[in-house]
Amino acid sequence: MDLCKITLLISILLTFPEAGLLAQPDQGESDTSSENLDPAGLDQQTARFDTLLRDGTLDEAENVAKQRVETTIGESGPRSIDTAFALTDLGTVQVRTDQYDAAEQNFQSAIEIIGEVENRLHELVIDPLRGLGQTYLESGRPDLAARTFSAAIHIMRVNSGPHNIGQIELLESLAESQLRAGKDEAARDTQDQIHAITARYYRDDRLAMVTPLTRRGDWLFQRNSFHEARDTYRQVVRIIESERGKKDLSLIEPLIKLGSTYLYVDTTGAQPLAGTPTATGESYYKRAVRIAESAPATDWARLAKTRVALGDFCTISGDYNSARSSYREAWDLVSEDPSRHELRAKLFGDAFPLTKMWIPSQSVRSSDVPGLGDDDELLQGSVTATYIINDRGRITKLRVDDLDPPEFADMANHVERELRRQIFRPHHDETGVVATPSQVFTHRFQYRQAELDLLRAREAADN
Protein backbone atom coordinates (compact mmCIF):
# COMPACT_ATOMS: atom_id res chain seq x y z
CA MET A 1 0.00 0.00 0.00
CA ASP A 2 1.43 3.39 -0.95
CA LEU A 3 2.63 5.83 1.66
CA CYS A 4 2.30 9.15 -0.12
CA LYS A 5 -1.11 9.61 -1.63
CA ILE A 6 -3.44 10.27 1.31
CA THR A 7 -1.15 12.66 3.13
CA LEU A 8 -0.27 14.42 -0.13
CA LEU A 9 -3.98 14.93 -0.76
CA ILE A 10 -4.50 16.12 2.80
CA SER A 11 -1.56 18.54 2.48
CA ILE A 12 -3.18 19.96 -0.66
CA LEU A 13 -6.46 20.46 1.18
CA LEU A 14 -4.71 22.06 4.16
CA THR A 15 -2.65 24.33 1.95
CA PHE A 16 -5.74 25.55 0.13
CA PRO A 17 -8.43 25.79 2.70
CA GLU A 18 -10.00 29.16 1.72
CA ALA A 19 -21.39 9.38 30.45
CA GLY A 20 -24.55 10.69 29.16
CA LEU A 21 -27.10 12.78 30.90
CA LEU A 22 -30.41 11.08 30.31
CA ALA A 23 -33.44 10.93 32.60
CA GLN A 24 -35.01 7.50 32.36
CA PRO A 25 -38.30 7.64 30.46
CA ASP A 26 -41.35 7.66 32.66
CA GLN A 27 -44.84 6.58 31.81
CA GLY A 28 -46.47 9.90 32.50
CA GLU A 29 -48.14 12.35 30.15
CA SER A 30 -45.91 13.62 27.32
CA ASP A 31 -46.08 17.30 26.54
CA THR A 32 -45.03 17.43 22.89
CA SER A 33 -45.38 21.17 22.46
CA SER A 34 -43.00 24.00 23.33
CA GLU A 35 -45.64 26.22 24.95
CA ASN A 36 -44.35 25.74 28.49
CA LEU A 37 -40.73 26.46 27.65
CA ASP A 38 -38.87 29.65 28.26
CA PRO A 39 -37.99 30.46 24.64
CA ALA A 40 -35.34 33.01 25.57
CA GLY A 41 -33.56 30.60 27.91
CA LEU A 42 -33.60 27.71 25.44
CA ASP A 43 -32.59 29.94 22.57
CA GLN A 44 -29.62 31.22 24.55
CA GLN A 45 -28.56 27.69 25.49
CA THR A 46 -28.87 26.51 21.89
CA ALA A 47 -26.92 29.47 20.50
CA ARG A 48 -24.20 29.07 23.11
CA PHE A 49 -23.95 25.34 22.45
CA ASP A 50 -23.60 25.92 18.70
CA THR A 51 -20.85 28.51 19.28
CA LEU A 52 -18.92 26.31 21.69
CA LEU A 53 -19.17 23.27 19.42
CA ARG A 54 -18.01 25.27 16.42
CA ASP A 55 -15.06 26.66 18.40
CA GLY A 56 -14.10 23.22 19.71
CA THR A 57 -14.72 24.10 23.37
CA LEU A 58 -16.13 20.65 23.95
CA ASP A 59 -16.20 20.36 27.76
CA GLU A 60 -18.21 23.53 28.10
CA ALA A 61 -20.39 22.58 25.13
CA GLU A 62 -21.23 19.31 26.87
CA ASN A 63 -22.20 21.15 30.06
CA VAL A 64 -24.49 23.48 28.13
CA ALA A 65 -26.02 20.51 26.29
CA LYS A 66 -26.75 18.79 29.60
CA GLN A 67 -28.35 21.96 30.94
CA ARG A 68 -30.55 22.10 27.87
CA VAL A 69 -31.65 18.47 28.40
CA GLU A 70 -32.56 19.30 32.00
CA THR A 71 -34.47 22.39 30.90
CA THR A 72 -36.53 20.61 28.26
CA ILE A 73 -37.29 17.64 30.52
CA GLY A 74 -38.42 20.00 33.28
CA GLU A 75 -40.54 22.19 31.03
CA SER A 76 -42.00 19.86 28.39
CA GLY A 77 -41.40 16.38 29.75
CA PRO A 78 -38.96 13.57 28.97
CA ARG A 79 -40.93 12.35 25.92
CA SER A 80 -41.11 15.62 23.99
CA ILE A 81 -39.65 16.60 20.65
CA ASP A 82 -37.66 19.39 22.33
CA THR A 83 -36.06 16.83 24.63
CA ALA A 84 -35.21 14.66 21.62
CA PHE A 85 -33.48 17.65 20.02
CA ALA A 86 -31.54 18.33 23.20
CA LEU A 87 -30.48 14.67 23.52
CA THR A 88 -29.28 14.72 19.92
CA ASP A 89 -27.09 17.76 20.60
CA LEU A 90 -25.69 16.13 23.73
CA GLY A 91 -24.91 12.95 21.81
CA THR A 92 -23.17 15.01 19.13
CA VAL A 93 -20.65 16.50 21.52
CA GLN A 94 -20.18 13.17 23.31
CA VAL A 95 -19.11 11.52 20.05
CA ARG A 96 -16.45 14.19 19.66
CA THR A 97 -15.18 13.50 23.18
CA ASP A 98 -15.13 9.71 22.63
CA GLN A 99 -17.99 9.02 25.05
CA TYR A 100 -19.50 6.50 22.69
CA ASP A 101 -21.69 4.55 25.13
CA ALA A 102 -23.33 7.73 26.41
CA ALA A 103 -23.75 9.12 22.90
CA GLU A 104 -25.32 5.88 21.69
CA GLN A 105 -27.81 5.93 24.57
CA ASN A 106 -28.83 9.52 23.90
CA PHE A 107 -29.22 9.12 20.14
CA GLN A 108 -31.28 5.97 20.58
CA SER A 109 -33.50 7.71 23.13
CA ALA A 110 -34.02 10.63 20.75
CA ILE A 111 -34.98 8.23 17.95
CA GLU A 112 -37.43 6.43 20.23
CA ILE A 113 -39.03 9.66 21.42
CA ILE A 114 -39.54 11.03 17.90
CA GLY A 115 -40.92 7.67 16.77
CA GLU A 116 -43.50 7.74 19.58
CA VAL A 117 -44.51 11.39 19.22
CA GLU A 118 -44.53 11.43 15.41
CA ASN A 119 -43.66 8.16 13.64
CA ARG A 120 -40.53 6.16 12.86
CA LEU A 121 -40.37 7.47 9.29
CA HIS A 122 -40.63 11.12 10.28
CA GLU A 123 -37.86 13.33 8.90
CA LEU A 124 -36.93 14.44 12.44
CA VAL A 125 -35.52 10.94 13.03
CA ILE A 126 -32.77 11.57 10.47
CA ASP A 127 -30.48 13.72 12.65
CA PRO A 128 -30.27 11.34 15.62
CA LEU A 129 -29.85 8.42 13.19
CA ARG A 130 -26.99 10.30 11.58
CA GLY A 131 -25.41 10.82 15.00
CA LEU A 132 -25.91 7.18 15.96
CA GLY A 133 -24.28 6.05 12.72
CA GLN A 134 -21.29 8.30 13.40
CA THR A 135 -21.07 6.88 16.91
CA TYR A 136 -20.88 3.34 15.55
CA LEU A 137 -18.34 4.38 12.93
CA GLU A 138 -16.01 6.17 15.35
CA SER A 139 -16.22 3.37 17.92
CA GLY A 140 -15.15 0.71 15.44
CA ARG A 141 -18.51 -0.83 14.47
CA PRO A 142 -18.74 -0.06 10.73
CA ASP A 143 -21.38 -2.71 9.95
CA LEU A 144 -23.78 -1.15 12.46
CA ALA A 145 -22.86 2.29 11.13
CA ALA A 146 -23.69 1.24 7.57
CA ARG A 147 -27.10 -0.12 8.60
CA THR A 148 -27.87 3.05 10.54
CA PHE A 149 -26.87 5.40 7.74
CA SER A 150 -28.91 3.28 5.31
CA ALA A 151 -31.96 3.69 7.57
CA ALA A 152 -31.47 7.47 7.62
CA ILE A 153 -31.15 7.55 3.83
CA HIS A 154 -34.35 5.51 3.45
CA ILE A 155 -36.28 7.92 5.69
CA MET A 156 -34.92 10.93 3.80
CA ARG A 157 -36.02 9.39 0.51
CA VAL A 158 -39.48 8.62 1.87
CA ASN A 159 -39.89 12.25 2.90
CA SER A 160 -38.00 14.09 0.14
CA GLY A 161 -37.90 11.76 -2.84
CA PRO A 162 -35.32 9.27 -4.13
CA HIS A 163 -33.13 11.87 -5.83
CA ASN A 164 -33.04 14.58 -3.17
CA ILE A 165 -29.68 16.33 -2.84
CA GLY A 166 -29.87 16.41 0.96
CA GLN A 167 -28.92 12.73 1.20
CA ILE A 168 -25.38 13.25 -0.16
CA GLU A 169 -23.70 13.67 3.23
CA LEU A 170 -25.42 10.53 4.50
CA LEU A 171 -24.37 8.60 1.40
CA GLU A 172 -20.77 9.70 1.90
CA SER A 173 -20.91 8.47 5.49
CA LEU A 174 -22.41 5.20 4.27
CA ALA A 175 -19.57 4.76 1.76
CA GLU A 176 -16.97 5.36 4.47
CA SER A 177 -18.69 2.80 6.73
CA GLN A 178 -18.74 0.24 3.93
CA LEU A 179 -15.05 0.79 3.28
CA ARG A 180 -14.14 0.31 6.93
CA ALA A 181 -16.22 -2.87 6.95
CA GLY A 182 -14.20 -4.18 4.00
CA LYS A 183 -17.09 -3.87 1.52
CA ASP A 184 -15.26 -2.07 -1.26
CA GLU A 185 -17.74 -2.86 -4.02
CA ALA A 186 -20.68 -1.64 -1.94
CA ALA A 187 -18.78 1.57 -1.21
CA ARG A 188 -18.14 2.04 -4.91
CA ASP A 189 -21.83 1.55 -5.68
CA THR A 190 -22.69 4.18 -3.08
CA GLN A 191 -20.21 6.63 -4.62
CA ASP A 192 -21.82 5.99 -8.01
CA GLN A 193 -25.19 6.88 -6.48
CA ILE A 194 -23.72 10.13 -5.16
CA HIS A 195 -22.40 11.00 -8.60
CA ALA A 196 -25.71 10.21 -10.31
CA ILE A 197 -27.74 12.28 -7.84
CA THR A 198 -25.45 15.32 -8.02
CA ALA A 199 -25.22 15.17 -11.82
CA ARG A 200 -29.02 15.07 -12.03
CA TYR A 201 -29.48 17.88 -9.51
CA TYR A 202 -26.88 20.22 -11.02
CA ARG A 203 -27.44 19.40 -14.69
CA ASP A 204 -28.38 23.03 -15.41
CA ASP A 205 -25.58 24.53 -13.32
CA ARG A 206 -22.17 23.24 -14.38
CA LEU A 207 -20.19 25.28 -11.88
CA ALA A 208 -22.20 23.78 -9.04
CA MET A 209 -20.78 20.38 -10.07
CA VAL A 210 -17.23 21.47 -9.22
CA THR A 211 -17.51 20.69 -5.50
CA PRO A 212 -19.15 17.24 -5.78
CA LEU A 213 -16.83 16.24 -8.62
CA THR A 214 -13.80 17.32 -6.59
CA ARG A 215 -14.98 15.26 -3.65
CA ARG A 216 -15.50 12.28 -5.94
CA GLY A 217 -11.98 12.72 -7.30
CA ASP A 218 -10.58 12.84 -3.78
CA TRP A 219 -12.41 9.63 -2.89
CA LEU A 220 -11.14 7.83 -5.99
CA PHE A 221 -7.61 9.08 -5.31
CA GLN A 222 -7.66 7.66 -1.80
CA ARG A 223 -8.93 4.33 -3.15
CA ASN A 224 -5.96 4.06 -5.56
CA SER A 225 -8.25 4.55 -8.57
CA PHE A 226 -5.84 7.05 -10.07
CA HIS A 227 -7.02 6.90 -13.68
CA GLU A 228 -10.60 7.63 -12.66
CA ALA A 229 -9.50 10.32 -10.22
CA ARG A 230 -7.50 11.88 -13.05
CA ASP A 231 -10.54 11.88 -15.36
CA THR A 232 -12.68 13.40 -12.60
CA TYR A 233 -10.23 16.22 -11.85
CA ARG A 234 -10.01 16.87 -15.60
CA GLN A 235 -13.79 17.33 -15.67
CA VAL A 236 -13.46 19.92 -12.92
CA VAL A 237 -10.75 21.75 -14.85
CA ARG A 238 -12.81 21.75 -18.06
CA ILE A 239 -15.88 23.11 -16.29
CA ILE A 240 -13.96 25.98 -14.71
CA GLU A 241 -12.18 26.77 -17.97
CA SER A 242 -15.42 26.91 -19.94
CA GLU A 243 -17.33 28.92 -17.35
CA ARG A 244 -14.62 31.22 -15.96
CA GLY A 245 -11.70 31.09 -18.36
CA LYS A 246 -8.30 29.42 -18.45
CA LYS A 247 -6.63 31.77 -15.99
CA ASP A 248 -9.17 31.70 -13.20
CA LEU A 249 -7.64 31.24 -9.75
CA SER A 250 -10.10 28.48 -8.89
CA LEU A 251 -8.19 26.27 -11.34
CA ILE A 252 -5.16 26.07 -9.05
CA GLU A 253 -6.42 23.42 -6.63
CA PRO A 254 -7.84 20.97 -9.23
CA LEU A 255 -4.71 21.35 -11.38
CA ILE A 256 -2.52 20.43 -8.41
CA LYS A 257 -4.71 17.45 -7.57
CA LEU A 258 -4.68 16.36 -11.20
CA GLY A 259 -0.91 16.61 -11.26
CA SER A 260 -0.58 14.54 -8.09
CA THR A 261 -2.27 11.54 -9.75
CA TYR A 262 0.79 11.16 -11.98
CA LEU A 263 2.92 10.11 -9.02
CA TYR A 264 1.17 6.71 -8.99
CA VAL A 265 0.93 3.98 -11.58
CA ASP A 266 -1.75 1.47 -10.61
CA THR A 267 -4.85 0.99 -8.47
CA THR A 268 -3.48 -1.43 -5.89
CA GLY A 269 -0.47 -0.81 -3.71
CA ALA A 270 0.61 2.12 -5.92
CA GLN A 271 4.08 3.53 -5.27
CA PRO A 272 5.69 6.81 -6.30
CA LEU A 273 7.14 6.56 -9.77
CA ALA A 274 10.80 5.56 -9.70
CA GLY A 275 12.66 6.41 -12.87
CA THR A 276 9.38 6.92 -14.77
CA PRO A 277 8.78 10.34 -16.35
CA THR A 278 6.53 12.62 -14.31
CA ALA A 279 6.64 15.50 -16.77
CA THR A 280 2.88 15.47 -17.35
CA GLY A 281 2.08 15.76 -13.67
CA GLU A 282 4.69 18.45 -13.17
CA SER A 283 3.25 20.42 -16.09
CA TYR A 284 -0.08 20.74 -14.26
CA TYR A 285 1.70 22.04 -11.17
CA LYS A 286 3.63 24.55 -13.27
CA ARG A 287 0.43 25.73 -14.91
CA ALA A 288 -1.03 26.25 -11.44
CA VAL A 289 2.04 28.36 -10.56
CA ARG A 290 1.61 30.48 -13.71
CA ILE A 291 -2.04 31.13 -12.85
CA ALA A 292 -1.06 32.11 -9.31
CA GLU A 293 1.63 34.43 -10.69
CA SER A 294 -1.01 36.23 -12.77
CA ALA A 295 -3.03 37.06 -9.64
CA PRO A 296 -2.80 40.51 -8.02
CA ALA A 297 0.26 41.17 -5.88
CA THR A 298 -1.97 41.11 -2.82
CA ASP A 299 -2.47 37.39 -3.40
CA TRP A 300 1.15 36.54 -2.51
CA ALA A 301 0.11 33.84 -0.04
CA ARG A 302 -1.66 31.81 -2.74
CA LEU A 303 1.41 32.08 -4.98
CA ALA A 304 3.72 30.96 -2.16
CA LYS A 305 1.56 27.94 -1.36
CA THR A 306 1.35 26.96 -5.03
CA ARG A 307 5.12 27.09 -5.40
CA VAL A 308 5.46 24.99 -2.26
CA ALA A 309 3.03 22.44 -3.75
CA LEU A 310 5.25 22.18 -6.84
CA GLY A 311 8.25 21.72 -4.57
CA ASP A 312 6.44 18.91 -2.73
CA PHE A 313 5.68 17.16 -6.02
CA CYS A 314 9.32 17.36 -7.07
CA THR A 315 10.48 16.13 -3.66
CA ILE A 316 8.28 13.04 -3.84
CA SER A 317 9.30 12.29 -7.44
CA GLY A 318 12.99 12.69 -6.54
CA ASP A 319 13.75 15.85 -8.55
CA TYR A 320 15.58 17.57 -5.70
CA ASN A 321 17.09 20.45 -7.68
CA SER A 322 13.69 21.54 -9.00
CA ALA A 323 12.21 21.10 -5.53
CA ARG A 324 14.81 23.38 -3.98
CA SER A 325 14.27 26.00 -6.65
CA SER A 326 10.50 26.05 -6.03
CA TYR A 327 10.94 26.12 -2.27
CA ARG A 328 13.46 28.97 -2.52
CA GLU A 329 11.09 31.09 -4.61
CA ALA A 330 8.36 30.52 -2.04
CA TRP A 331 10.76 31.25 0.84
CA ASP A 332 11.81 34.56 -0.71
CA LEU A 333 8.18 35.54 -1.21
CA VAL A 334 7.17 34.89 2.40
CA SER A 335 10.31 36.61 3.70
CA GLU A 336 9.76 39.97 2.00
CA ASP A 337 7.94 41.49 4.96
CA PRO A 338 7.66 40.62 8.67
CA SER A 339 3.89 40.38 8.26
CA ARG A 340 4.49 37.31 6.09
CA HIS A 341 6.72 35.46 8.53
CA GLU A 342 3.82 33.65 10.17
CA LEU A 343 3.09 31.84 6.91
CA ARG A 344 6.83 31.22 6.44
CA ALA A 345 6.98 29.48 9.79
CA LYS A 346 3.93 27.39 8.88
CA LEU A 347 5.36 26.30 5.53
CA PHE A 348 9.03 25.91 6.40
CA GLY A 349 9.46 25.97 10.17
CA ASP A 350 9.55 22.20 10.59
CA ALA A 351 10.04 19.24 8.29
CA PHE A 352 6.53 18.53 6.98
CA PRO A 353 5.45 14.92 6.23
CA LEU A 354 4.39 14.40 2.62
CA THR A 355 3.68 10.69 3.11
CA LYS A 356 1.54 8.67 5.44
CA MET A 357 2.65 5.73 7.52
CA TRP A 358 0.50 2.62 7.73
CA ILE A 359 1.20 1.11 11.13
CA PRO A 360 -1.46 -1.10 12.75
CA SER A 361 -2.91 0.06 16.04
CA GLN A 362 -3.17 -3.55 17.22
CA SER A 363 -0.36 -6.05 17.07
CA VAL A 364 -2.47 -8.88 15.71
CA ARG A 365 -6.07 -9.91 15.02
CA SER A 366 -7.63 -12.10 17.68
CA SER A 367 -8.32 -14.79 15.06
CA ASP A 368 -4.58 -15.20 14.51
CA VAL A 369 -3.92 -16.38 18.06
CA PRO A 370 -5.49 -19.65 19.33
CA GLY A 371 -7.76 -19.09 22.29
CA LEU A 372 -7.69 -15.31 21.91
CA GLY A 373 -11.01 -13.49 21.78
CA ASP A 374 -12.03 -9.97 20.84
CA ASP A 375 -13.34 -9.43 24.38
CA ASP A 376 -9.96 -10.06 26.03
CA GLU A 377 -8.52 -6.97 27.70
CA LEU A 378 -6.37 -4.77 25.48
CA LEU A 379 -2.99 -3.77 26.92
CA GLN A 380 -0.76 -1.00 25.60
CA GLY A 381 2.72 -1.36 24.20
CA SER A 382 5.01 1.13 22.48
CA VAL A 383 7.85 1.47 20.01
CA THR A 384 10.15 4.52 20.16
CA ALA A 385 12.61 5.41 17.40
CA THR A 386 15.00 8.30 16.77
CA TYR A 387 16.20 9.59 13.41
CA ILE A 388 17.43 12.56 11.39
CA ILE A 389 15.63 14.08 8.39
CA ASN A 390 18.20 15.03 5.79
CA ASP A 391 18.09 17.97 3.38
CA ARG A 392 16.28 15.82 0.80
CA GLY A 393 13.42 15.05 3.16
CA ARG A 394 14.48 11.45 3.81
CA ILE A 395 15.05 9.74 7.13
CA THR A 396 18.60 8.73 8.01
CA LYS A 397 20.38 7.31 11.07
CA LEU A 398 17.19 5.56 12.14
CA ARG A 399 17.40 3.59 15.37
CA VAL A 400 14.73 1.82 17.43
CA ASP A 401 15.55 2.83 21.00
CA ASP A 402 12.79 1.20 22.98
CA LEU A 403 10.27 -1.62 22.53
CA ASP A 404 7.81 -2.49 25.27
CA PRO A 405 7.13 -5.38 25.60
CA PRO A 406 10.37 -6.46 23.89
CA GLU A 407 8.72 -9.60 22.44
CA PHE A 408 6.87 -7.59 19.78
CA ALA A 409 9.78 -7.45 17.34
CA ASP A 410 7.45 -7.62 14.34
CA MET A 411 5.81 -4.35 15.40
CA ALA A 412 9.22 -2.70 15.79
CA ASN A 413 10.23 -3.92 12.34
CA HIS A 414 7.00 -2.54 10.88
CA VAL A 415 7.62 0.87 12.45
CA GLU A 416 11.21 0.93 11.19
CA ARG A 417 10.15 -0.09 7.68
CA GLU A 418 7.48 2.58 7.45
CA LEU A 419 9.74 5.31 8.81
CA ARG A 420 12.39 4.53 6.21
CA ARG A 421 9.82 5.11 3.47
CA GLN A 422 8.70 8.47 4.80
CA ILE A 423 9.20 11.61 2.69
CA PHE A 424 9.20 15.12 4.15
CA ARG A 425 9.25 18.68 2.95
CA PRO A 426 12.69 19.57 4.35
CA HIS A 427 13.25 22.23 6.96
CA HIS A 428 14.43 25.60 5.62
CA ASP A 429 16.22 28.60 7.05
CA GLU A 430 17.94 31.66 5.60
CA THR A 431 20.72 29.50 4.16
CA GLY A 432 18.36 27.17 2.33
CA VAL A 433 17.42 23.53 2.88
CA VAL A 434 18.87 22.06 6.09
CA ALA A 435 18.70 18.74 7.93
CA THR A 436 16.41 18.30 10.92
CA PRO A 437 18.25 16.45 13.71
CA SER A 438 17.13 14.48 16.74
CA GLN A 439 13.59 13.51 15.86
CA VAL A 440 11.73 11.13 18.17
CA PHE A 441 8.80 8.99 17.04
CA THR A 442 6.67 6.87 19.38
CA HIS A 443 4.02 4.47 18.15
CA ARG A 444 1.61 3.07 20.74
CA PHE A 445 -0.12 -0.19 19.96
CA GLN A 446 -2.54 -2.54 21.67
CA TYR A 447 -2.03 -6.21 22.40
CA ARG A 448 -3.59 -8.94 24.51
CA GLN A 449 -1.96 -10.93 27.28
CA ALA A 450 -2.62 -14.24 25.54
CA GLU A 451 -0.64 -13.03 22.53
CA LEU A 452 2.31 -11.97 24.71
CA ASP A 453 2.24 -15.34 26.47
CA LEU A 454 2.33 -17.09 23.08
CA LEU A 455 5.33 -15.05 21.91
CA ARG A 456 7.18 -15.80 25.13
CA ALA A 457 6.45 -19.52 24.79
CA ARG A 458 7.76 -19.52 21.22
CA GLU A 459 10.91 -17.69 22.27
CA ALA A 460 11.51 -20.17 25.10
CA ALA A 461 11.02 -23.09 22.72
CA ASP A 462 13.51 -21.61 20.25
CA ASN A 463 16.08 -21.27 22.97
pLDDT digits (tens, 9 = 90+) for 147-204: 999 999 999 999 999 999 999 999 999 999 998 888 989 999 999 999 999 999 999 9
Give the CATH superfamily of 5-22+36-264+283-294: Tetratricopeptide repeat domain (1.25.40.10)
Least confident range of 215-224, 261-270, 306-315, 323-332: 261-270
Q: What is the mean pLDDT of the chain?
A: 86
Q: Where are the CATH 1.25.40.10 domain residues in the chain?
A: 5-22+36-264+283-294
Pairing outcome for strands 378-389 and 395-404: antiparallel
- What value, to the nearest 5°, has the Cα angle with vertex 137 and ends 132 and 140? 125
353-375 pLDDT per residue, tens? 998 788 877 776 544 555 555 55
374-423 pLDDT per residue, tens? 556 778 999 999 999 999 999 999 999 999 999 999 999 999 999 999 99
Residue 87 reports pLDDT greater than 70? yes
Average pLDDT (112-128) is: 96
Average pLDDT (310-337) is: 95
Nearest partner of 69 among 107, 123, 120, judged by Cα = 107
User: 66 and 89 in contact (C-beta within 8 Å)?
Assistant: no
Backbone angles phi, psi at 446, to 5 degrees: -110, 145
Work out the percent of the chain whose per-residue pLDDT is above 90.
63
Higher per-residue confidence, 273 vs 162:
162
Query: What CATH number should be reported for the domain whose range is 366-462?
Result: 3.30.2420.10
Residue 55 reports pLDDT greater than 60? yes
Average pLDDT (43-52) is: 83
Q: Where are the CATH 3.30.2420.10 domain residues in the chain?
A: 366-462
Q: So what's the pLDDT on residue 15? A: 56
127-136 pLDDT per residue, tens? 999 999 999 9
Higher per-residue confidence, 265 vs 165:
165
Q: So what's the pLDDT on residue 37? A: 41
User: 356 and 4 in contact (C-beta within 8 Å)?
Assistant: yes
SS3 content of the chain, % helix, strand, coil (to 5): 65, 10, 25
Report the chain's C-alpha Rg in angstroms: 26
Q: pLDDT-based confidence at 120, cuts 50/70/90? A: very high
